[in-house]
Structure 1
Amino acid sequence: MAKEKLVPIKEALLKNNCPECFNQELKLRFYQKHTYGTFLHRTTKEVTHQIVCKKCNSMIYPVKWTDDIERMFNYYQKTVEPEPKSIKPTWRLYLLLFLLFLLAAVATYFLLGGTITY
C-alpha cells in the first residue's frame, strides 16, 4: 500500500485577526501530496492548505474566514509554485527489472540446450 505524505511547499504569516481569539498571528501553509509506493514515488498536482492561529492553535476553516483572510489567501494561492507532476522509480523497481532480465537470459540459455558456440 502506498504511503501518502503532504509536503509543505509554502508558508506565510498573516496579520489578520483570528475568528476564535482575535489574535493577529495566523500561519498559512500550502502542501503538495506525494505518494510513496514500493516501486514508484509519485508527485501529484494536488495542493491543499491550512490556516492555524499561532496563539490558540485552532484551525481556521473556510467557513469562518473573514473577507480579509480570504483576500490574503487568494493572494498567496497565486504565488504557490508546486513541483510538476512526476513519477520516479525506486531502487526496488530497478532490482526487479534486473532480476527479470537475468531470469530471461538464464531461461534462454537453457532453452538453447545449455551450450554456447562461438
Structure 2
Amino acid sequence: MKTEYILLKEAILTNNCPECYSKDGLTLSFKQEKLHSKLMTKTKREIIEHMNCKTCETTIFPGRWTDDIERTYAYHKKTIAPEPSSIKFTGIFYIILLVTLLIFTAGGFYLYTLYGSQI
C-alpha cells in the first residue's frame, strides 16, 4: 500500500515558540491520510496535526503548548474541512469481481444442465 497525505491547511502562527521563544517560524499543519492499493483507495477519517518551529527546527508536541497556542490551534481546527471518509474501488477490482461472478454463474448453469432434470 502507498500512503499519501492530503494537506488540509497549513497556517503560520504568530505565537512564541516554547523552545526558542522566536516570534516567527511556528507552523501548524493539518493532514488527512489516504491509502492507495491496486484494488482500492481509502481516505481515513482521522486528521493528523503537526506543529513545528522553522527557526529552531523543533517539533512542538501538545504537552509543550502554551494557552495562546491552544487557543490558536482550536481556532484553526474549526476552520478546516476534511474530506469525507471513503473507499473507492479501482477498475481492477471491478474486473476481478465480474470475472468471479461469471465463473460462478457459468458453473451454476453447467451444474443445472447436468443435474437439473434429476432434482
Q: Tell me which interval the TM-score lies in, with the shorter structure as reference length.
A: 0.7 to 0.9
Q: Which residue of 2 aligns with 1:53?
A: 53
Aligned pairs for 1:1-118 within 5 A = 2-24=1-23, 25-107=25-107, 110-111=110-111, 112=113
Q: C-alpha separation between the residues in 2 aligned to 1:18 and 1:91? A: 48
**3-12 or 104-113: bigger deviation:** 104-113
CA deviation digits over 1:8-31, x for unaligned, max 9? Answer: 211100011111111122010001
**Gap runs ≥5 in structure 2:** 115-119
Cα RMSD for the two superposed structures: 2.0
SS at match of 2:47: strand
Taking structure 1 as the reference length, the TM-score comes to: 0.81
**46-55 or 88-97: bigger deviation:** 88-97
Q: How many residues align?
A: 112
Residue 105 of structure 1, CA deviation: 4.9
| Amino acid of the structure 2 residue aligned with 1:83 | E
| Amino acid of the structure 1 residue aligned with 2:49 | H
More helix by share: 2
